[in-house]
Structure 1
Amino acid sequence: MKLYFRGPNNFPAISITFDDGPHPSYTPQLLQVLDRFNVKGTFFMTGANARKNKILVKEVSDQGHEIANHSLNHLKQLLLPPDVLENEIKASKDILESIIERKTTLYRPPHGYTSPFLFSLAKKLDFKVILWSINAYDYRDTNPVSITRRVVSRLKKGSIVLFHECNARNPDRDYTQTATALSDVLMHIKNGSFNAVTISELLTRFGT
């Protein structure tokens, strides 16, 4: 099973992704920015947050964005027994699919931690494991200017950019910096030579 950090480097597109949501305050901010630039993103949501915000999950999906799995409770999966890991993935998958009424095919492990069990589960549950090539570090940097600079300076064909909708374990933490930085990053992309597409569209260029 292949682990995807990026798309093909011969295709002038990148993917913007968001982890840990949805969040009733910050996800709508991101949707407004994406709509303004006519960009579709990929949202890696936890089942626990999705279950609390079903209408918002449906709204993200109905606006044409891609919904993907980020586990049920955002646990560090290196420490989990195989049966617990499987439940974390499958329970979240079931919640998301019951809301959007279609199959989810992408999974991003919390913190990017992988294990041999994860790869066997990917085959069993039929999903691709997606990581990233650019981390915005918006979960620890509250300055949108430095977040933007960090992302823009690393953009290449096929880049997968990691932003966050919120903090999965601390939902009260302020994440307004992400929407501001996202707007600046998308302005750079619009004025440059890249298109922003969903992960699934990016991976089709690999023939997957």
Structure 2
Amino acid sequence: MKKDQMLPGRRSVMRLGACLGAAATAGLLFTERAPTAAGTEAALPVGGPRAVARRPVKASAYRLQPMAAISPPRFGRAMPPVRRQPILKMAEAGRTMVLTFDDGPDPRYTPDILSTLRKYRVPAMFFVCGEMAADNRDLICEMADDGHVVGNHTWSHPLIPKLPPSRIRDELSRTSEVIEETTGSPPLWYRAPFGAWNKHSFEIGAQLGMEPLAWTLDTRDWTEPGTKTIVRRVLNGAGPGVVVLSHDAGGDRSQSVAALRRYLPELLDAGYRITVPRR
């Protein structure tokens, strides 16, 4: 992050598998506390748009401190209360993990990642940049057809805190429009480039009907550390609820492609279920 065909029948199986995975993981996001009219705190239901991590995970050194707003109804005005951080991981319920890929789609690397995920029949999340998605709509369609979640990673991968609200809205809304035009559904999740969030980005994201998702485990594959290093980082950092950050664009991602082929079957053999959060 220096910037930070399957047959119809098999596609149906992938869609069914993703739905079953979603049903099994319903309620897996942590709860948060919300102020009541009397000023006290009341627990929100587990899962859904208002879920958030209970125990913050230590951020990578290069990340900025995030803030986040709870999502109101889609396209509505962002209302308090406001998150102090994005969702960082899933609840530690069973041996479930989430694999995420940022910055794509890139026709040089994304097809191989999709092929590997298809081979093992597991879903993942792809946080796409609008300018890449607009030029590679066939890959966006393939992601959706295979049951993956397509999320919003802004249009041009800027450093969000340096932008005025109007630019943040443009970056997010243009990307959401491309995703909706291509898949038929707007994105429900988004991620800030470089993990650099601010209050405006969370409020605008909420107005567009999206929840903010960060990560638990950073493979730092964008530094091109070598396939073995990426594999080791994923396997050593594996655990219930872990959200893995990788990339399928933004540079030479051949190491990321090769690493996925190695660590994914090992995770499955170790009893982990690869799933995606749903709303």
Give the TM-score normalised by structure 2. Answer: 0.68
Task: State how 1:169-188 maps to structure 2 within 5 Å.
Answer: 173-188=251-266
| Root-mean-square deviation (Å) | 1.2
In structure 1, the residue matched to 2:277 is 199
SS in 1 for 2:241: coil
Partner of 1:94: 177
Shift of 1:40: 0.8
What secondary structure is seen at the aligned counterpart in 2 of 1:139? helix
Cα distance between partner residues in 2 of 1:87 and 1:151? 34
Structure 2 gap segments, 5+ residues each: 1-69, 71-82
CA distance in 2, matches of 1:21, 1:8: 27
How far apart are residue 77 of structure 1 and its match?
0.4
2:164 matches 1:81? yes
The match for 2:267 is 189
Partner of 1:150: 233
* Runs of 4+, deviation exceeding 2 Å: none
User: How far apart are residue 126 of structure 1 and its match?
Assistant: 1.5
**% of aligned pairs identical?**
27
Question: In the aligned structure 2, how far is the partner of 1:120 from the partner of 1:102?
Answer: 21
Q: Counterpart in 2 of 1:203?
A: none
1:123 is aligned to 2:201: no
Stretches of structure 1 that go unaligned for 5 or more consecutive residues are 168-172, 201-207
SS of residue matched to 1:44: strand
Amino acid at match of 2:104: G
Query: For residue 186 of structure 2, what is the amino acid of its counterpart?
Result: K
Higher helix proportion (structure 1 or 2): 1
> Is residue 97 of structure 2 the alignment partner of residue 14 of structure 1?
yes
Alignment partners' CA distance in 2, 1:164 and 1:55: 19
Deviates more, 1:55-64 or 1:41-50: 55-64
Matched residue pairs, number?
196
- Once the two structures are overlaid, the 10-residue window that deviates more, 126-135 or 183-192, is 183-192
What corresponds to 1:71 in structure 2?
Answer: 154
RCO higher in structure (CA 8 A, sep ≥6): 1
Provide the C-alpha distance between the structure 1 equivalents of 2:231 and 2:269, rounded to a whole number of angstroms. 14
1:40 maps to 2:123? yes
d(CA) in 2 for partners of 1:197, 1:180: 21
AA of the residue aligned to 1:195: R
